A and B are shown apart, each in its own frame.
Chain A
């Protein structure tokens, strides 16, 4: 069986041409064959998967399918709590943690009929990694297993790219959905802050955490987000507004879309690789040719956005983890504990200054967006580096953090491959709650380009 997208599988399941049980068995066999090298899974829930698949198949046969996710094999990042199923955050501290309740999204996806294949690798507590001093190894990039997936939704990125799952959950505090999506050559969206509930997801930073989907295509992300978004009164950040149809703009022309390119982000502030910049320019040529208006814009230096986001992230993380860190410092992996311990050097006035500057940056981006539909930037500086070459400390500003700082939605999609044969990417950001338009633009680009027909060699 070839690797299907969610949209393709849903169509076949609906037409009774594909058995959810056979699909689940195929995926489990792929996991058995490929995951020993990839380490994308921390736990495979085979029994649960087959039970979910049988239930979906019964609905298929009785004509009572619940929608496009019914019978679709997925897995959750292991910071999403799953009732009765171990949820570890890839950490020794939670090695035996079995939650009593599902996370909001886990519950909603289950109600949509998904088939749960298991729990996926993450950087420890969505921040510390890739680490080699944890109970499980870090996930590897299926395009070349010597290379990193980026993080922290590392297992989801690897598992989707290798076709072990058709989609999965991620979380994004500074780029943890879009980074692995970029380096694994898939699609991943950080939705608008407040659009999807974070209840039941182990937190990293209150004001920056976002929950979102990752899949092979933007279209699949739209289908997954549809079953994820919506008001949750038990998440303090959750917005109470009507959930739009996220597939509404799929197939629409991009003519007339106004695109602003923050060229200084990826040409001077943190110069991206030749392949990344060429991929972005080729994408912009496509949008221009299809009738979009494209122009360069200038924002504050990328380092300003990164400094604000990073300081808030580590201090909020220390607020959450401080009590444990004081008692169990050496039970954390080195990367998480040292990166968060640095928060001890940040003062209260520094945090107030970061918060003030955050407001200025939010206003700046909102003003820039006032006559634009999309802001374009890089998603990652280049292809995935070798996992052994990653530094413990990184000072170069990330391209993804600006949209955590502002809460604006942003999607990463593949723009081809670099000199090393690994994927490169582009990031499209929109106004708050403009996800349908972002999916529409990303889908238009993806369907016009050949990249979605290429999978990692190990996966085919």
Chain B
């Protein structure tokens, strides 16, 4: 299970160029924890053929 703490969130917000006062980091942390659980879910193993391939519909005009 992915986790995130205040120091790592602060680094991530700084890297994204967003304000990251201690209050701001604390305000965002609960949401970041939820999002990290979603990240863990989408990173569960996928079959090799699960590609975000570009496909075409031959009937498309």
Interface residues of A (CB under 8 A from B): 239-241, 303-304, 306-308, 310-311, 314, 318, 322, 325-326, 329-330, 334, 338-339, 341-347, 350, 352-360, 392-393, 395
Interface residues of B (CB under 8 A from A): 4, 9, 12-13, 15-19, 24, 27-28, 30-32, 34-39, 41-43, 46-47, 50-53, 60-61
Can you give 20 A-B contacts (C-beta < 8 A)?
A240-B61, A241-B61, A303-B41, A306-B38, A322-B16, A326-B17, A330-B19, A338-B27, A338-B28, A341-B18, A342-B31, A343-B35, A345-B32, A346-B35, A347-B39, A356-B46, A356-B50, A357-B50, A359-B52, A393-B34
Inter-subunit contact A357/B46 (CB<8 Å):
yes
A314 and B42 CA atoms in complex are apart in Å by 15
Chain A minimum-CB-distance residue to B25: A341
- A sample of 11 more A-B contacts (CB under 8 A), given A240-B61, A359-B52, is A240-B60, A311-B35, A343-B35, A344-B12, A344-B13, A344-B16, A347-B39, A353-B43, A356-B46, A395-B34, A395-B37
Inter-subunit contact B27/A350 (CB<8 Å):
no
Choose from B12, B31, B42 the contact partner of A307 (Cβ within 8 Å).
B42
Inter-subunit contact B46/A353 (CB<8 Å):
yes
Inter-subunit contact B12/A345 (CB<8 Å):
yes
Inter-subunit contact A307/B51 (CB<8 Å):
no
Inter-subunit contact A350/B42 (CB<8 Å):
yes
Choose from B27, B30, B35, B43 the contact partner of A314 (Cβ within 8 Å).
B35
A329 touching B16 in the complex, CB below 8 Å, given contacts A338-B31, A359-B53: no
Would you give the shortest CB distance from A377 to chain B, in whole angstroms?
Answer: 19
Would you give the shortest CB distance from B30 to chain A, in whole angstroms?
Answer: 5
Chain A minimum-CB-distance residue to B41: A307
A329 and B16 CA atoms in complex are apart in Å by 12
A311 touching B39 in the complex, CB below 8 Å, given contacts A352-B52, A353-B46, A359-B52: yes
| Chain B hits for A239, CB < 8 A | 60
| Chain B hits for A240, CB < 8 A | 60-61
Inter-subunit contact A359/B31 (CB<8 Å):
no
Would you give the shortest CB distance from B4 to chain A, in whole angstroms?
Answer: 6
Choose from A304, A358, A392 the contact partner of B41 (Cβ within 8 Å).
A304
Inter-subunit contact B42/A357 (CB<8 Å):
yes
| Chain A hits for B31, CB < 8 A | 338-339, 342, 392-393
Inter-subunit contact B18/A329 (CB<8 Å):
yes
Inter-subunit contact A325/B18 (CB<8 Å):
yes
A342 touching B35 in the complex, CB below 8 Å, given contacts A307-B41, A353-B42, A354-B42: yes
Inter-subunit contact A308/B42 (CB<8 Å):
yes
A330 and B42 CA atoms in complex are apart in Å by 31
A239 and B47 CA atoms in complex are apart in Å by 30
| Chain B hits for A350, CB < 8 A | 39, 42-43
| Chain B hits for A343, CB < 8 A | 16, 35
A-B contact count (CB 8 A): 91
Choose from B18, B43, B50 the contact partner of A344 (Cβ within 8 Å).
B18
A57 and B39 CA atoms in complex are apart in Å by 56
Choose from A329, A341, A393 the contact partner of B30 (Cβ within 8 Å).
A393
| Chain A hits for B9, CB < 8 A | 345
| Chain A hits for B47, CB < 8 A | 360
Q: Which of A240, A307, A354, A395 counts the most chain B CB atoms within 10 A?
A: A307
A308 and B4 CA atoms in complex are apart in Å by 19
A251 and B22 CA atoms in complex are apart in Å by 60
A326 and B20 CA atoms in complex are apart in Å by 11
Would you give the shortest CB distance from A143 to chain B, in whole angstroms?
Answer: 30
Chain B minimum-CB-distance residue to A391: B30
A325 and B34 CA atoms in complex are apart in Å by 21
Choose from B38, B51, B52 the contact partner of A311 (Cβ within 8 Å).
B38
A374 and B43 CA atoms in complex are apart in Å by 30
Would you give the shortest CB distance from B25 to chain A, in whole angstroms?
Answer: 10
Inter-subunit contact B50/A359 (CB<8 Å):
yes
Would you give the shortest CB distance from B24 to chain A, in whole angstroms?
Answer: 8
Chain A minimum-CB-distance residue to B27: A338
| Chain B hits for A241, CB < 8 A | 61
A325 and B51 CA atoms in complex are apart in Å by 32
| Chain B hits for A311, CB < 8 A | 35, 38-39, 42
Would you give the shortest CB distance from A40 to chain B, in whole angstroms?
Answer: 28
A329 and B13 CA atoms in complex are apart in Å by 12
Inter-subunit contact A345/B36 (CB<8 Å):
yes
| Chain B hits for A356, CB < 8 A | 46, 50-52
| Chain B hits for A358, CB < 8 A | 52
A239 and B43 CA atoms in complex are apart in Å by 31
